[in-house]
Amino acid sequence: MAGSDPQPKKATPPRPAANASRKPLQVMHISRKSEEEINNEKSSKKNFSNQSKDKRFEEEVLAQKNISGLCKAPEQKEKNQQSDKDSFPAETMEDLLKSEVNTDQKNLESFDNQKSRKVDEFDFDEDEFLAALEENQPIGSTGETAKGSVIAVESDGIYVDIGGKAPGFMPKNECGLGVITNLKERFPKGLEVEVLVTREQNADGMVTISCRELELRKSWDKVRNLSKEGKIIRVKINGFNRGGVTCDCEGLRGFIPRSQLEDGENHETLVSKTINTAFLEVNPDRRKLVLSEKKAAIVSRFSELEIGQLIEGEILTIKPYGFFVDLKGVSGLLHHSMVTNGSMRSLREVFQPGEFIKALITDLDPSRGRIGLNTALLEGPPGELITDKEKVMKEAEERAIKARNSLNKEKIDPQKDPQNKNLST
């Protein structure tokens, strides 16, 4: 084409010269494997690929199961139940009962076999067992009494063999009620003593014992019995304070208030003296012992009195309900209904304060300190005390005999009536 550049010509490779020498041909050596090796490699690759496929398949199945289990739990549960039913053979109720009976019989047979074994097979001895229990049983509980012998005396107390693994220890201040200066003289070795356990055994098996507490317990028991019987005891005054005096009573510390003393205003002068007392309060739990000299006088006076006895006394006071009569240390009440069998307008019409009279005792109550008197039983005709009081008082002793007989008949008649009723029936 005119005006356009001609296309460039392709370079032609240089031709070899005619006389140039040629290079030798290079031969490639290919190592050919045998057919068996090739087949083995192919089979291993196939197995590996198959294994990987199976593994991937199992993973996919597990994942699908998990997802299906989450999404379709009821369906999966039904499938599991169905599989359980398929896995176990169907059993009837009769088969189940037979199996239970068989197991029970086996258990009974095994139990009978055990029972059939003899005691000797276990190496069991009852005597040895009881002896072991006695050896290991702790001796001495709190509050119990024990007997033993002194085995050692120390400066702070004594040791007593009471039959335990270890001896009992009794502190010095628990050896008695009083002050003990010489323990060796008071408690020689081998001395048999009775003690009270105040503290149970410690880790070493030793218990704490006391003679003092045992003596106090015995003293409280004795005082309680004396109080119930209403006995009078003599005590020695060993101290005083503003409220009264103190004394020693059966080894216990007793207290007598000033109001219960015959001479309460000069109570300090009673120290070192011995007086008669009666019990007002006995409380072992609070360790409270209260006595009374006045009550002792009343109790002693009551012991001299009896129902039906003729007694003489002085009119102390007149009350709307009767007369209070002084009977030598105790006071009796002559009730207005017991004065006369007649009709009286006033009590002063019969007796006056300071007048001495004779009367019969018709009621005694030592626990309450009451004495009931009667003058109406001394009358002949009703109202004789109002018309002829001097005659009644002069003949009081003779009339008292008749009145006493009538009182005795009143006691006997209620006992005869039931017998008569029984005989009649």
Distance CA 126, CA 391 (A): 91
pLDDT given for residue 21 in this prediction = 54
State mean pLDDT over 155-179: 85
State mean pLDDT over 240-247: 93
pLDDT given for residue 81 in this prediction = 52
pLDDT given for residue 7 in this prediction = 52
Which two tokens mark 54? 């199976």
- Size of the chain in residues: 425
β strands within 261-368, DSSP E? 274-283, 288-292, 310-319, 322-326, 331-335, 356-365
- The residues, any chain, with a CB within 8 Å of residue 327's CB and separated by 6 or more, are 301, 305, 311, 313, 371
More confident residue, 288 or 67: 288
Distance CA 258, CA 293 (A): 10
Q: How confident is the model at residue 365 (pLDDT cuts 50, 70, 90)?
A: confident
Q: How confident is the model at residue 364 (pLDDT cuts 50, 70, 90)?
A: confident
CATH of 304-411 given 2.40.50.140, 3.40.50.720, 3.40.50.300, 2.60.40.10: 2.40.50.140
- The residues, any chain, with a CB within 8 Å of residue 282's CB and separated by 6 or more, are 220, 223, 224, 227, 288, 289
Q: How many Cα atoms within 13 Å fall on the side-chain side of residue 358?
A: 18
- C-beta separation of 383 from 340 below 8 A: yes
Distance CA 245, CA 267 (A): 7
- The residues, any chain, with a CB within 8 Å of residue 142's CB and separated by 6 or more, are 197, 198, 199, 200
Q: How confident is the model at residue 254 (pLDDT cuts 50, 70, 90)?
A: very high
Task: Look at residue 425 and tell me whether its pLDDT is greater than 80.
Answer: no
Pairing, β 356-365 against β 370-374: antiparallel
Q: How confident is the model at residue 293 (pLDDT cuts 50, 70, 90)?
A: very high
DSSP, res 117: S
Which CATH code fits 216-299? 2.40.50.140
> What is the three-class DSSP state of 162?
coil
Class of 135-210 in CATH: mainly beta
State mean pLDDT over 118-145: 60
Chain centre distance of CA 266: 48
How many Cβ atoms are within 10 Å of 115's Cβ, its own excluded? 7
CATH code 2.40.50.140 region(s) in the chain: 135-210, 216-299, 304-411
Q: How confident is the model at residue 114 (pLDDT cuts 50, 70, 90)?
A: low
Distance CA 234, CA 275 (A): 5
- C-beta separation of 394 from 380 below 8 A: no
pLDDT given for residue 315 in this prediction = 93
Distance CA 260, CA 42 (A): 131
Of 180-184, 268-272, 376-380, where does mean pLDDT reach its minimum? 180-184
Beta bridge partners of 256: 245
pLDDT given for residue 202 in this prediction = 74
**31-52: string of b/e by CB count within 10 Å (b at 16+)?**
eeeeeeeeeeeeeeeeeeeeee
pLDDT given for residue 403 in this prediction = 84
Of 97-101, 132-136, 397-401, where does mean pLDDT reach its minimum? 132-136
Q: How confident is the model at residue 179 (pLDDT cuts 50, 70, 90)?
A: confident
State mean pLDDT over 51-71: 54
